[in-house]
């Protein structure tokens, strides 16, 4: 976390800083794997032991103050504060709790690989990396703030408690379900970490939904989309790009090409028929755009996928 010395020192005496732009980033699937979790209680005068661990260690404080140091950085965790301790970094309790303190903890690892990265503005649009096909899954980027404060503390506590209660079950199904509950908790944390949609984000969502519903109309242009919402085309292009990383036209082309690829995989329709059914006015333009975006012609794509 790119913090000044003043901010880092303030972590020693204050709750978790709200100025946190470090995220645990992982490409999914495969999903993160839950190892073990429980609830710990420090009596007055106790503190966390020292170690270097090979797994991620997630801490969520439910009562009192827990003082944790990781790789030279000190944190004062109060009720609702969380911290993800990273593998292979030294961590220890830097101060004893003056009163009773309790926290949930769990160990996990990410089999697909992960890293901690700085993200200035983490948004929901960043979580979907690629769409799946009939033979490959959708791919996502999981983004979890490494430290912060839960907005919905009671919901977070209830979710974590539900997850660790399976520790005491003799039912194999309940123990297997613990993996599902763990991932649901990570999704909860991700929702808490990512940017809440603004008014323009909500408008962009309406516009992208409109494009997804009408892209097969061959006469549809961005000026038509803008007119449907009483906005200028330039504004539509701006907010759609902020949400998706694509201009409005690129997003429209993406939807049309996505549909075309599905038809190429699942039908024997002619290329002109595929183009028209996907919203393209001309087969020649469809073929040029397809090769520009996919690196091969529609015919080559069909042959390589075996249809």
Position 282 pLDDT exceeds 60: yes
Given a cut of 90, is residue 271 above it in pLDDT?
yes
CA 105, CA 301: separation in Å to the nearest integer?
49
d(CA 176, CA 166): 9
pLDDT in tens, 104-155: 999 999 998 898 888 765 666 668 888 888 888 999 989 899 999 999 999 9
Question: Quick check: 273 pLDDT over 50?
Answer: yes
Q: For residue 17, is pLDDT > 50?
A: no
Full-model pTM: 0.64
Of the chain, the percentage scoring pLDDT greater than 70 comes to: 89
Domains for the chain: give ranges and CATH numbers.
5-193 (2.60.120.280), 199-304 (1.10.10.60)
- pLDDT band per the 50, 70, 90 thresholds, residue 1: very low
* CA-closest candidate to residue 289, choices 258, 266, 263: 258
The reported pLDDT for the residue numbered 121 is 58
Position 118 scores a pLDDT of: 81
In this prediction, residues 216-231 reach a mean pLDDT of 94
Q: Give the pLDDT score at 275.
A: 95
Would you say residue 99 has pLDDT above 80? yes
Q: Which residue has the higher pLDDT, 58 or 127?
A: 58
Residues whose CB falls within 8 Å of the CB of residue 274, separated by 6 or more in sequence, listed in order: 260, 263, 264, 267, 286, 298
């Amino acid at each position: 976390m790119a913090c000044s010395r003043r901010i880092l020192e303030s972590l020693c005496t204050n709750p978790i800083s709200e100025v946190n732009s470090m995220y645990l980033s992982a490409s999914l699937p495969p999903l993160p794997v839950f190892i073990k979790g429980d609830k710990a209680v420090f009596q007055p005068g106790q503190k966390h032991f020292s170690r270097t661990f090979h797994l991620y260690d997630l801490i969520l404080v439910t009562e009192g103050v827990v003082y944790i140091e990781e790789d030279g950085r000190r944190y004062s965790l109060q009720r609702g504060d969380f911290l993800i301790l990273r593998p292979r970094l030294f961590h220890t309790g830097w101060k004893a709790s003056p009163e009773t303190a309790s926290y949930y903890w769990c160990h996990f690892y990410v089999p697909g690989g992960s890293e901690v990265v700085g993200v200035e503005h983490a948004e929901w649009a960043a979580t979907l990396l690629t769409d799946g096909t009939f033979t490959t899954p959708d791919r996502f980027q999981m983004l979890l703030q490494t430290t912060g404060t839960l907005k919905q503390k009671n919901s977070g506590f209830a979710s974590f408690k539900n997850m660790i209660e399976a520790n005491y079950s003799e039912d194999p199904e309940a123990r297997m379900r613990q993996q599902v509950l763990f991932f649901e908790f990570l999704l909860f944390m991700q929702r808490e970490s990512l940017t809440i949609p603004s008014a323009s984000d909500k408008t962009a969502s309406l516009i992208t939904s409109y494009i997804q519903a009408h892209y097969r109309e061959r006469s549809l242009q961005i000026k038509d989309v803008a007119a449907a919402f009483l906005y200028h085309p330039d504004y539509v292009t701006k907010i759609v790009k902020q949400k998706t990383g694509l201009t409005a036209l690129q997003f429209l082309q993406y939807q049309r090409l996505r549909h075309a690829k599905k038809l190429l995989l699942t039908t024997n329709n002619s290329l002109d028929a595929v183009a028209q059914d996907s919203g393209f006015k001309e087969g020649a333009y469809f073929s040029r755009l397809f090769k520009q975006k996919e690196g091969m012609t529609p015919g080559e794509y069909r042959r390589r996928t075996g249809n």
